[in-house]
Structures are given as C-alpha cells and as structure tokens.
C-alpha cells in the first residue's frame, strides 16, 4: 500500500512541477518588449523623439544650417551664403531610457546642457500604446556683456526649454509624434514676452531598411491670458522642416530644408521670424555617431 502511495505522491509532484514550468514559460512568452526602432535617431530634424540610446552609449551630434536659398545659384542656394549656424554636441546614456548632454552653438555662442528621459515606451503587444518622453535643456548665451545692456547680470544669459513628447509607431513604415513645450528667457528685447508655449508635430515615413522621409512642424502659440503685454510685438513664426534620413547601426545622416536658422528649440519657438516661403528656406544636415562602452 505504501508503495502505491509513494508512486501517487511522486506522480502528483511531477505533474505540479511540469505545470509550474509550463506556466513560467507561458509568462515568459507574453513579456511585452518595446517596439523596435520607432525612430532612427534622437531628433527628426530640430524636434526631439523618444529615442534614447542604450546604457553606456556616447553619441556625437553635428548640426549645420546653411544660408537661405533666395539668391539661387549665385551662392549655390545658400550653401556659400553667410549666416550659417553650427552646433556640435555629445550625449551620454546613463540608463537605457535616460541621457544627458552638452553642446556648443555658433548662434549667440549658446552653450547648452540637456537631459532626456523616456519613462514609458510603446510595446509590441500594445500593453503600452505610446511612448512618453520628457526633454529639457538650459542654455547660456556666451556673447559679450555689451549685448545685454547696462543693467547686466549673468542670469540674463540663461534660457530654458522643456517639452512633453508623445509618439507612436503605427506600422513598420510610419511613426508620428506630438508635443507641448514651454520656453523661458530670463532677458528679452523690450515689449517681448519672457515665456512662450508651443506645440510640435512630426513624423517619419520609412521606405527602405535604411532610408526615411521626415517632417516636422512647430507652432508658437499666442496666448493673451499669459502675455505680459496687451499686444504681441514681433511674435515668433511657425517653423517646419522636410528631409531625408539614412541610417546604420552606429550612424544617422539627415539632409533637409527648413525655414528656421535656430538649432536649439527655444531659439526656434521664441525668435524665429522666417516665413514659410521658398526665399526663407535653407538647407541643413545633421550627423550622429554612436560609440558603445
């Protein structure tokens, strides 16, 4: 009798262990991972995406904006024209979803410090249907003191930009994003607001394993209830860009047309005065290079 009882107990234990193993395997199978490559880099053109490189990655970014194309062939559609803008920056990923960076900019000699954090990533099984990203920077205008007038203080050099980004990869070939942002300058020209709220939109259409078409639009909002003045003086104009992007595992190259000279987002949302016409557009390119440690 004992022999039969031992056999029965062993059989039940074996069945329980097999069931537990199958249940564990089932749980492992349904783990919902983040979607692959919703974007090819951390920016579309000027606007930021939800992409943060994997932990311990160093990213070098080179941004260049040429002069406007209005003079045509005489200055090779702005490529040889004065008034270019260049930025070189480095970003380092502390975590898979958090990076920090520094950049130096020829426009107004901006020295900028930035951080990007993506607390929620879109998943393949739609457990999380969108990616949510927080981005912010602080920039120092490093021009001569005389630029800031007689009542100069170091704080006059500071400007800030913060943004909430929501994006979604709808298919293997299309990703879209929307954002709301806030810009603050400690010092501005007379009759200009120190603060500006804006909205941004952008997308990527991928038509081959390495190539995509990109587009973005940024709209500064004129909100009378938060304005410091009864009328708007030189309100900033909307900026847009359309481009072509090619990427590899460690590089991304973007070439585009944009009506904004600024590279830093606060410059675009606060100071862009370029119209959306052919004379006001300029060529530009961005290059990124990644190193893993």
Write out pLDDT tens, residues 163-205. 999 999 999 999 999 999 999 999 988 888 899 999 999 999 9
Residue 77, CA distances (Å) to 216, 240, 268 in order: 22, 18, 22
Say what percent of the chain tops pLDDT 70.
Answer: 89
Please give the Cα distance from 206 to 149 (Å, whole number): 49
Least trusted range by pLDDT, from 2-6, 74-78, 186-190: 2-6
pLDDT in tens, 243-254: 999 999 899 999
**Residue 106, pLDDT above cutoff 60:** yes
Predicted pLDDT at 278: 82
Per the DSSP assignment, residues forming a β-bridge with 48 are: 43
Please give the Cα distance from 245 to 205 (Å, whole number): 10
Say what percent of the chain tops pLDDT 90.
Answer: 71
**Residue 64, pLDDT above cutoff 60:** yes
Predicted pLDDT at 277: 87
Average pLDDT over residues 71-99: 91
pTM of the model: 0.86
pLDDT in tens, 49-60: 999 999 999 999
pLDDT in tens, 123-159: 999 999 999 999 999 999 999 999 998 889 999 999 9
**Residue 214, pLDDT above cutoff 60:** yes
Helix (H, G, I), strand (E, B) or coil at 180: strand
Helix H, strand E, coil C: the string for 264-279 is CHHHHHHHCCCCCCHH
Predicted pLDDT at 230: 67
**Residue 16, pLDDT above cutoff 70:** no
Average pLDDT over residues 91-114: 97
Predicted pLDDT at 150: 84
Predicted pLDDT at 191: 82
- Residue 261 and residue 270 in contact, taking contact as beta carbons nearer than 8 Å: no
For 54-123, the DSSP string reads: PTTEEEEEEEEEEEESTTGGGGTTTTTSS--EEEEEEEEEEETTEEEEEEEESGGGEEEEEEEEEEE--B
| 34: DSSP letter | B
Predicted pLDDT at 9: 41
Q: What's the CA angle centered on 49, arms 48 and 53, to 5 degrees? A: 105
Question: Residues for the chain: how many in total?
Answer: 293
Predicted pLDDT at 125: 93
**Residue 25, pLDDT above cutoff 70:** no
Question: Measuring CA to CA, which residue among 129, 127, 183, 176 is closest to residue 159?
Answer: 183
Predicted pLDDT at 220: 96
* Residue 24 or residue 65, greater confidence: 65
Q: What's the CA angle centered on 57, arms 55 and 59, to 5 degrees? A: 140
Predicted pLDDT at 23: 54
**Residue 21, pLDDT above cutoff 60:** no
Predicted pLDDT at 17: 52
pLDDT in tens, 215-232: 999 999 998 888 887 677
Contacts (Cβ under 8 Å, ≥6 apart) of 282: 65, 66, 67, 68, 69, 78, 257, 258, 259, 261
Average pLDDT over residues 27-46: 86
Confidence band of 76 (pLDDT split at 50, 70, 90): confident
């Amino acid at each position: 009798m004992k022999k039969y009882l031992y056999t029965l107990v062993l059989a039940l234990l074996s069945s329980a262990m097999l069931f537990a193993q199958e249940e564990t395997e089932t749980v492992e199978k349904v783990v919902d991972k983040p979607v692959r490559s919703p974007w090819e880099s951390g920016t579309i053109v000027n606007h930021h995406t939800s992409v943060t490189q994997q932990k311990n990655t160093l990213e070098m970014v080179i941004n260049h904006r040429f002069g406007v194309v209005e003079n045509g062939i005489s200055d090779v559609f702005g490529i040889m024209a004065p008034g270019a803008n260049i930025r070189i920056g480095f970003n380092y990923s502390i975590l898979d979803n958090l990076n920090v960076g520094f950049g130096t900019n020829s426009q107004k000699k901006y020295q900028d410090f930035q951080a990007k954090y993506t607390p929620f990533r879109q998943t393949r099984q739609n457990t999380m249907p969108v990616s949510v990203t927080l981005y912010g920077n602080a920039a120092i205008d490093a021009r001569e003191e005389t630029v800031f007038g007689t009542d100069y203080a170091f704080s006059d050099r500071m400007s800030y930009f913060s943004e909430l980004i929501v994006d979604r990869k709808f298919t293997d070939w299309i990703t879209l994003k929307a954002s709301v942002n806030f810009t603050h300058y400690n010092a501005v020209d007379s009759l200009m607001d120190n603060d500006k709220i804006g909205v941004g939109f952008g997308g990527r259409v991928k038509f081959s394993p390495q190539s995509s078409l990109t587009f973005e639009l940024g709209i500064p909002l004129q909100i009378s209830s938060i304005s410091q003045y009864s009328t708007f003086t030189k309100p900033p104009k909307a900026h847009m860009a359309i481009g072509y992007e090619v990427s590899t595992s460690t590089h991304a190259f973007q070439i585009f047309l944009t009506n904004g000279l600024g590279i830093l987002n606060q410059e675009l949302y606060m100071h862009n005065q370029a119209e959306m016409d052919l004379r006001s557009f300029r060529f530009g390119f961005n290059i990124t290079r990644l190193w893993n440690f």
